[in-house]
Structure formats: C-alpha cells, structure tokens
C-alpha cells in the first residue's frame, strides 16, 4: 500500500479526487503539480504540506513562490519542476493525473527513480506503451491502473489463474451523443459535448468520451496493461456506467466489477492494493439503478474508436500519431476553431497519411512523431 504520494496534475478532476482519498486515509503527500491553477494549488499546499510543488507555467510559479513563502513548501517550475515532483526522494508512489502526452516523460522519470505508479494519464500508454512497459519490467516497480475500466479488469483478474482470460470487455457510457447520427452531430456545440451523462471529468476526456476517442485510447491502454491485441478487446456500450468493465474467461464465465460511477474507488484501489478500505464513494442501490442496458458501438458515426483500433493493429508509432492529432483537434474544438465531426476526420487523416517507422522505438521517436503530427494538423487548420 502507498504511504507517501506525489500527485502530478493535483488541481484536475482526478488530482482533486486523489486528494480526497489521501485525506481520508492520512496519506502523506510529498509533491503536487499543476499547469497554471495556482489558487487551488496554494490551498492544496496549505492543507497537505508537501515538501515541494511544481507549476508548468513560469509566471504562475513565480506568483506561487511569493504566496507560499510563509510555508515550508518549495516551489519549482517548468518541465524540470514537474520531473522533480515525479522523482521526489521520499515518495513511494506517483499518481499521474496530468492530461495528455505531457504526462509521458514524468511517468518514465518516476519509473526510473523506482516509484510505483498509479496511472490515470492514459495518453502515457497510448503514445509510449512499449517504452513505458519495458521500463516497468526493468525497474521492477508496480504500475496500477486508475482508469475505471482498467481498474475494473485488474480487479476482476484478481484470483483468476494465469491463462484463463479469453477476452476483455470494456464498457463505454457512449458519452454525450450516444445514438446520434452524423447529420445530428454536424452542428453540436462545445457545451453539448461537455455534458456527460454519468461522469464529471476534465474537458479533454469529456470531449474524448463524446467522440468515443476515449474508448479507442482505452483499447490501446488495455492492450499494454494486459498484454493483449485488438481482437482480444471487445467494447460494449453500457449507458448507466455501473459495470466498469468485465472479463470473459475461457469457460465463458464472465466476471464484472460494479459500483457507482465515482473515480475515487479506482484511485483508492491503485493506492491501497491489495487492501480494501472504506472509501469516500457511495454504495450502489440496485433497486434504484433498476436497469442496465447494453448496445453495440456505432463505429461509423464514432470513427475515432475504429481509427484507434486500426492504429493499434498497425502498431509502432501509429497510436502516438492518433493521440497527438486528437489532442490538437480537441483543443481546436474547445476553442471553437473546428466542428465536432472534424475531430474524427483529423485523427483519421493523420493516421492514414503517416508513413510509420520500423525497428525499435525510442522516446525521441515518440516525442518527435508527436511534435511532427501536431505541426501537420495545425498547419492544415
């Protein structure tokens, strides 16, 4: 069980819920980081007394340094500061709740420093799964999934004999636009895309849920965490988000993990594994839930899911490209520079026009491909 944690991205949706868990179980918090939200970071620092905090934005970091000068918390800045938080000497577990591929290098640094990882930042595995899993194997640290579906699968696998798994069944809520046609999606607004039926999350992942890119990213994430291929991972729409995912075993028995949609359960499990402790989340009331529904995903309307599966089958740097194109596209959509359906077109185009690279993939290849893809997409719009 974790006892001293660094929380990267502590001001976000997962970050703040991680601190709920830390508060409940008196976990020592050694480092916190943010991009620029120094008001919240200051409050968190005053409550949890970390040794250090880091802010990516240099100006914001300078302001926070002044604000925290009456405390013992040191303030660092930029990517270097975030790396310092990821490797802070006294911590045993790093919770990575940064959004986007910006989380990749801090994850690798933390692994190299011998820290266990509680990973919410799925883009780390999508863009850099091969090198991250290799680093985990070589350093002997533990990587625990925080993403609810992957935590569910991890929970379901406890107690299953090795080689008993037939397929993974990832559940998907279907996001804000389940059941809509392409025509109906043509002019949807940012506000509509941001109103998720079941989960309250950061803006990027909420848009990813609406396009179903999120499920595509999760298929790739699952392939790395559970060492399986595209064909070993089914996706089923489950509107109520009560079943967080399932495993189909060789005898066709299915094991599912259920609970109210509250990320504090998977966050806590990643921190307390293998223990089961009381959590801030509520009990489910099945009579109140009453019904659970299941549907096939619509791979034509929600093309991002299909493109991610394609990128996974192609392997190499294709998932890096899909992720980078999506990050740029979502950002442009949130700033109302493009329409909702453009997101899937951009990701599809980026993957289709990518030339690939054979041989061993390095961190430099990943960062370079990420950068080139971003430039290619931005230049077009």
* Strands of the 165-172 sheet, one edge to the other: 233-237, 165-172, 243-249, 254-258
Of 20-28, 128-136, 139-147, 348-356, the segment contacting Mg ion by CB under 5 A is 139-147
Site map for Mg ion, 10-39, x if CB under 5 A? ------------------------------
Size (the chain), residues: 381
At residue 278, what are phi and psi to the nearest 5 degrees?
Answer: -55, 145
CA nearest to 4, candidates 95, 82, 90: 90
CA nearest to 98, candidates 37, 27, 163, 30: 37
CA nearest to 332, candidates 323, 322, 345, 342: 342
Q: Which of 19, 53, 104, 120 binds ligand NDP (CB under 6 A)?
A: 120
Q: Which of 94, 98, 247, 341 binds ligand NDP (CB under 6 A)?
A: 98
Q: Is 11 in the site for ligand NDP (CB under 6 A)?
A: yes
CA within 13 Å, CB half, 193: 29
Question: What are the structure tokens assigned to 174, written together?
Answer: 């279907």
- Alpha carbons 191 and 179: distance in angstroms, whole number: 18
Q: Which of the choices ligand NDP, Mg ion, none does residue 299 contact, using the CB cut-off of 5 to 8 A by kind?
A: none
Q: Which of the choices Mg ion, ligand NDP, none does residue 272 contact, using the CB cut-off of 5 to 8 A by kind?
A: none
Identify residues 144-163 at the interface with Mg ion (CB under 5 A): 147-149
Question: What are the structure tokens assigned to 53, written together?
Answer: 């905090």
The least distance separating Mg ion from the CB of residue 170, rounded to whole angstroms, comes to: 8
- Alpha carbons 115 and 107: distance in angstroms, whole number: 9
**165-172/243-249 β-pairing:** antiparallel
Applying CB under 5 A, the site for Mg ion has a residue count of 3
Nearer residue to ligand NDP within complex by CB, 138 or 223: 223
Nearer residue to ligand NDP within complex by CB, 68 or 201: 201
Q: Is 121 in the site for ligand NDP (CB under 6 A)?
A: yes
Applying CB under 6 A, the site for ligand NDP has a residue count of 28
Q: Is 147 in the site for ligand NDP (CB under 6 A)?
A: yes
The least distance separating Mg ion from the CB of residue 206, rounded to whole angstroms, comes to: 11
- By the criterion CB under 5 A, which residues form the site for Mg ion? 147-149
- By the criterion CB under 6 A, which residues form the site for ligand NDP? 9-15, 34-37, 56, 82, 97-99, 102, 120-123, 147, 199, 201-202, 204-205, 263
């Amino acid at each position: 069980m974790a006892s001293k944690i660094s929380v990267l991205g502590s001001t976000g949706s997962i970050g703040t819920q991680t601190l709920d868990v830390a508060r409940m179980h008196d976990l020592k918090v050694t480092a916190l980081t943010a991009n620029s939200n120094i008001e919240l970071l200051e409050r968190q620092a005053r409550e949890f007394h970390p040794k250090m905090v880091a802010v990516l934005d240099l100006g914001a970091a300078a302001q926070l340094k002044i604000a925290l000068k009456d405390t013992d918390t040191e303030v660092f800045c930029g990517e270097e500061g975030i790396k310092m938080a990821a490797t802070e000497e006294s911590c045993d577990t790093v919770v990575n709740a940064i959004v986007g591929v910006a989380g990749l290098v801090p994850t690798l640094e933390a692994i190299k420093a011998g820290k266990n990882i509680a990973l919410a930042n799925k883009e780390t595995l999508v863009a850099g799964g091969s090198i991250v899993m290799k680093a985990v194997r070589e350093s002997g640290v533990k990587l625990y999934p925080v993403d609810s579906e992957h935590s569910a699968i991890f929970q379901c696998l406890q107690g299953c004999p090795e080689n008993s798994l037939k397929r993974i069944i990832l559940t998907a809520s279907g996001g804000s636009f389940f059941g809509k046609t392409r025509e109906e999606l043509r002019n949807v607004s940012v506000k509509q895309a941001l109103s998720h039926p079941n989960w309250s999350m950061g803006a990027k992942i909420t848009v990813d849920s609406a396009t179903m890119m999120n499920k595509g990213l999760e298929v790739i994430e699952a392939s790395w965490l559970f060492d399986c291929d595209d064909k070993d991972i089914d996706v089923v729409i489950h509107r109520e988000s009560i079943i967080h995912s399932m495993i189909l075993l060789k005898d066709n028995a299915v094991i599912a993990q259920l609970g109210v949609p509250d990320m504090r359960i998977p966050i806590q499990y990643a921190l307390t594994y293998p223990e089961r402790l009381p959590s801030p989340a509520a009990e489910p009331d099945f009579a109140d839930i009453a019904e659970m529904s299941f549907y096939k995903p619509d791979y034509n309307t929600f093309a991002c899911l299909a493109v991610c599966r394609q990128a996974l089958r192609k392997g190499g740097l294709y998932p890096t490209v899909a992720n980078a194109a999506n990050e740029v596209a979502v950002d442009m959509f949130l700033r109302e520079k493009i329409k909702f359906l453009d997101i899937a077109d951009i990701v599809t185009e980026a993957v289709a026009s990518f030339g690939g690279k054979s041989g061993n993939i390095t961190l430099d290849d990943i960062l370079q491909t990420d950068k080139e893809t971003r430039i290619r997409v931005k230049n077009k719009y």
